[in-house]
Homo-oligomer: A and B are copies of this chain.
């Protein structure tokens, strides 16, 4: 593909330096104290260069997380549905755990107040994971593990909801036992007792 003259003049090395500096500073002082000014200084880059390519510090952090995330587009499928769901949920839990938390939580907090950032966050980080999640559940429907008319959006709310609930309220992420309890409850609710369908 001869994209030739269409090539952006953007400096890849600056881009990398900016993301690296962002990651360092976030780790050192947290999302809150993160500053475009400081990123530029640490990265050895003009502020302009940051503003040229990102609209806000949130967008920089978003790209950082986006790069960091190894997106396995195919859902895990060990044959054990509960285990697979647990591993999907665990990925999110780990993104919200202290040492790495700064960028993730800060980003969610900022996105709450900034619709445009929220949209980006949803499109680039969240929706792919939702898709993966639903893909796994759909497969479970195919194998008859789940009721074929189970409402997958409800399942999504029920399984991911608690994580955000606890995040927002500083309640600490659910431990292994609690997580298993959640999954068990939800699967039970979605598993077809043949005679009455889940939603009236």
A-B contact pairs, 7 of them (CB 8 A): A111-B170, A157-B162, A157-B166, A157-B182, A164-B165, A181-B199, A185-B186
- Asked if A84 lies at the interface with its beta carbon under 8 angstroms from chain B, I say no
Chain B residues with CB under 8 Å of A188's CB are: 188-189, 198
Chain B residues with CB under 8 Å of A174's CB are: 157
Would you call B161 and A157 a contact (CB within 8 A)?
yes
Q: Mark A172-200, 1 if CB is under 8 A from B, else 0.
A: 00100110111011101110000000111
Nearest residue, chain B, Cβ from A190: B185
Q: How far does the alpha carbon of A165 sit from the alpha carbon of B119 in the complex, in Å? A: 14
Where the two chains meet, the residues of A that have a C-beta atom closer than 8 Å to any C-beta of B are: 30-32, 105-106, 108-115, 118-119, 121-122, 126, 151, 153-154, 156-158, 160-171, 174, 177-178, 180-182, 184-186, 188-190, 198-200
From known contacts A185-B189, A198-B184, A200-B180, infer whether A165 and B170 are also in contact, taking CB-CB under 8 Å: no
Q: How far does the alpha carbon of A166 sit from the alpha carbon of B165 in the complex, in Å? A: 10
Q: How far does the alpha carbon of A180 sit from the alpha carbon of B115 in the complex, in Å? A: 28
Chain B residues with CB under 8 Å of A168's CB are: 108, 111-112, 164, 167-168
Would you call B109 and A105 a contact (CB within 8 A)?
no
Complex partner residue of A182 from B111, B154, B184, CB under 8 angstroms: B154
Chain B residues with CB under 8 Å of A161's CB are: 157-158, 160-166
Q: How far does the alpha carbon of A157 sit from the alpha carbon of B109 in the complex, in Å? A: 20
Chain B residues with CB under 8 Å of A111's CB are: 168, 170
Q: How far is the CB of A185 from chain B (nearest CB, A)?
A: 4
